[in-house]
């Protein structure tokens, strides 16, 4: 791939927004970031209107573009999901499987392996949200799918050959030895849909749990004499916490409390997106239940939250407003922090020489007008912003 240079109004680097910068890309990687005046004259140039920022990385994407991974655990299903989220600035994602049987898990893992091998843009691995969860905090998950993490299941969920595997489990129901085995086989373990006590969660962190899936949701509230999973999450100096910042899952005051306790570098934005994102269809089926996207949220007929009708560009805008942080901090929660949680900071998550050329171009209102994945540009077919 020939080298080219991108000129934007501002570029978000590790030091903050910079004006007058030229980002040189070749063979899908960032070669250098230099001043506009020093940019070579014999290189292809593209003048961009807006802010060039790191592409977003989403650790929890159940669906998009009318597709739910559980229903279409195939390369084409994954491609459709990735295409829908790419429109909103997501350049890397983990297709996420909601609790299901081992056969569906096997097909989803195989599909992700095949998608990565086939070069489907933006696929970083898989997130298995369950089925090793606590029925007391099942949320919208089908508790009949829940099971014990035994050796057979361990072999299956650690079988991905390409990319990263993130597993969300209830650590009070999983032996410490099993968590260690997951870590030894390269799996990232997060706690979620859990009723663990503070003591149980503290022990699980020592065993290898490194993060928390959608903090505050599907876990007991923190009390003065029972801090529980939330207390353990907020008190851990190293654990990352993903959060769904859609204005429905978590009150803005709780978002700010988490920020104060964890610091901006330990907060990871996720969408928990459902098929409605990037689709005109507002209803879909989830395990026999009809889910409807209405008022910015996805709910079952009884009003239970069922994932989210949220894209990452909106999550970034929401985080900036609800958490009272500069937009660059919110962007890093959706890029650098997610990359760190996955252990891929040496490959993606920032605009820095040597990293993959994964970018989003934001207009003055924070909407996305273009994305780049490994140096390849993608724009909405109608030229709109999203």
| Catalytic sites, residue numbers | 272
Check the annotation: does 211 bind a ligand.
Answer: no
Check the annotation: does 225 bind a ligand.
Answer: yes
Check the annotation: does 306 bind a ligand.
Answer: yes
Calpha distance 116→99 (Å, rounded): 22
Check the annotation: does 62 bind a ligand.
Answer: no
| Of residues 148, 97, 90, 107, the one with CA closest to residue 127 | 97
Check the annotation: does 248 bind a ligand.
Answer: no
Q: Does 131 sit behind a cis peptide bond, omega within 30 degrees of 0 on the bond before it?
A: yes
Q: CB-based burial of residue 162 (10 Å sphere; 0-12 exposed, 13-18 middle, 19+ buried)? A: middle
Calpha distance 204→166 (Å, rounded): 16
Paired tokens of 156: 């299956």
Check the annotation: does 200 bind a ligand.
Answer: no
Q: Are 30 and 24 in contact (CB under 8 A)?
A: yes
Calpha distance 216→210 (Å, rounded): 16
DSSP state of 137: G
DSSP state of 305: B
Check the annotation: does 129 bind a ligand.
Answer: yes
Check the annotation: does 305 bind a ligand.
Answer: yes
Check the annotation: does 127 bind a ligand.
Answer: no
- Residue 334, by phi and psi: left (phi above 0), alpha (psi -120 to 50) or beta? alpha
Calpha distance 86→271 (Å, rounded): 13
Check the annotation: does 249 bind a ligand.
Answer: yes
Check the annotation: does 313 bind a ligand.
Answer: no
Calpha distance 278→87 (Å, rounded): 8
The annotation places the binding site for substrate at: 140, 217-218, 225, 249, 305-307
The annotation places the binding site for Zn(2+) at: 129, 193, 214
């Amino acid at each position: 791939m020939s080298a080219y240079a991108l000129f934007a109004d501002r570029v978000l680097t590790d030091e903050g927004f910079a004006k007058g910068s030229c980002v040189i890309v070749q063979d899908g990687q960032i070669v250098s970031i230099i001043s506009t005046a020093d940019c070579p004259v014999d290189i292809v140039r593209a003048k961009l209107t807006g802010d060039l920022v790191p592409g977003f990385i989403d650790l929890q994407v159940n669906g998009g573009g009318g597709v739910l991974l559980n229903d279409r655990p195939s390369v084409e299903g994954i491609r459709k999901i990735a295409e829908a989220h790419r429109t909103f600035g997501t350049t890397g994602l983990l297709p996420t499987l909601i609790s299901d049987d081992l056969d569906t898990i096997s097909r989803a893992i195989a599909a992700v392996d095949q998608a990565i091998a086939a070069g489907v843009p933006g696929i970083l691995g898989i997130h298995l949200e369950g089925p090793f969860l606590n029925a007391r905090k099942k949320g919208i998950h089908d508790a009949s799918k829940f099971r014990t993490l035994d050796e057979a299941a361990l072999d299956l969920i650690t079988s991905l050959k390409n990319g990263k595997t993130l597993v969300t489990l209830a650590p009070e129901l999983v032996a410490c030895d099993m968590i260690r085995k997951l870590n030894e086989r390269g799996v990232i373990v997060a706690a979620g849909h859990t009723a663990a006590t503070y003591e149980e969660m503290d022990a699980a962190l020592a065993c290898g749990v490194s993060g928390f899936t959608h903090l505050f949701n599907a876990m007991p509230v923190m009390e003065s004499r029972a801090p529980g999973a939330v207390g353990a999450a907020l008190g851990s100096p190293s654990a990352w916490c993903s959060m769904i910042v859609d204005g429905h899952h978590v009150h803005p005051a709780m978002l700010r409390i988490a920020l104060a306790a964890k610091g901006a570098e330990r907060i990871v934005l996720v969408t928990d997106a459902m098929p409605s994102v990037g689709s005109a269809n507002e209803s879909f089926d989830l395990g026999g239940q009809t889910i409807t996207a209405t008022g910015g949220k996805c709910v079952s007929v009884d009003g239970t939250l069922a994932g989210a009708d949220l894209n990452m560009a909106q999550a970034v805008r929401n985080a900036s407003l609800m958490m009272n942080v500069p937009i660059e901090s919110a962007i890093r929660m959706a890029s650098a922090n997610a990359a760190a949680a996955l252990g891929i900071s040496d490959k993606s998550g920032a605009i820095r020489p040597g990293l993959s050329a994964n970018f989003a171009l934001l207009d003055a209102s924070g909407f996305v007008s273009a994305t780049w994945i490994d140096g390849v540009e993608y724009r909405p077919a109608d030229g709109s912003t999203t």
